[in-house]
Amino acid sequence: DGGITQSPKYLFRKEGQNVTLSCEQNLNHDAMYWYRQDPGQGLRLIYYSQIVNDFQKGDIAEGYSVSREKKESFPLTVTSAQKNPTAFYLCASSIEGTPGETQYFGPGTRLLVL
């Protein structure tokens, strides 16, 4: 299944709370990505990282933050500034992060707001 794990499978957030979604890979891939999946909208890129200690905003980065302190880990924090966080979040990785590479996806985390 690609060696990418995401936890937890389900996550509940209260109003005003920050929550962090975990993504770990043992594929020795340099590049990692976070996508948000909403019904009828496909996948939209939140953040991506091509190398340790470097990351770039995607199309919908507002209300989210990331870190890339280790090659195998790329956690995503959904902050209280994200007003509509309910969605399915997918983490992915690729070998180098160059255009045209295949991306390998994790099983996803479903975030729900209480």
Partner 1 sequence: AQRVTQPEKLLSVFKGAPVELKCNYSYSGSPELFWYVQYSRQRLQLLLRHISRESIKGFTADLNKGETSFHLKKPFAQEEDSAMYYCALSEDAGGTSYGKLTFGQGTILTVHP
Q: Which residues bind partner 1 (CB under 8 A)?
A: 1-2, 31, 33, 35, 40-45, 48, 50, 56, 58, 90, 92, 94, 96-108
In whole angstroms, how close is the CB of 112 to partner 1 at the nearest point?
Answer: 19
Nearest to 79 by CA among 7, 3, 14: 14
Task: For residues 114 and 100, give the distance between their C-alpha atoms in angstroms, rounded to a whole number.
Answer: 39
In whole angstroms, how close is the CB of 83 to partner 1 at the nearest point?
Answer: 22
* Cβ closest to partner 1, residue 82 vs residue 109: 109
For residue 104, give every residue at least 6 positions away whose Cβ sits within 8 Å of its Cβ, in sequence order, or none: 2, 3, 4, 25, 27, 29, 92, 93, 94
Structure tokens at 93: 């990785």
* Cβ closest to partner 1, residue 82 vs residue 103: 103
In whole angstroms, how close is the CB of 99 to partner 1 at the nearest point?
Answer: 5
In whole angstroms, how close is the CB of 34 to partner 1 at the nearest point?
Answer: 12
- Angstrom CA distances, 39 to 13, 16, 44, 46, 86, stand at 20, 24, 11, 16, 11
* Cβ closest to partner 1, residue 81 vs residue 107: 107
* Cβ closest to partner 1, residue 18 vs residue 98: 98
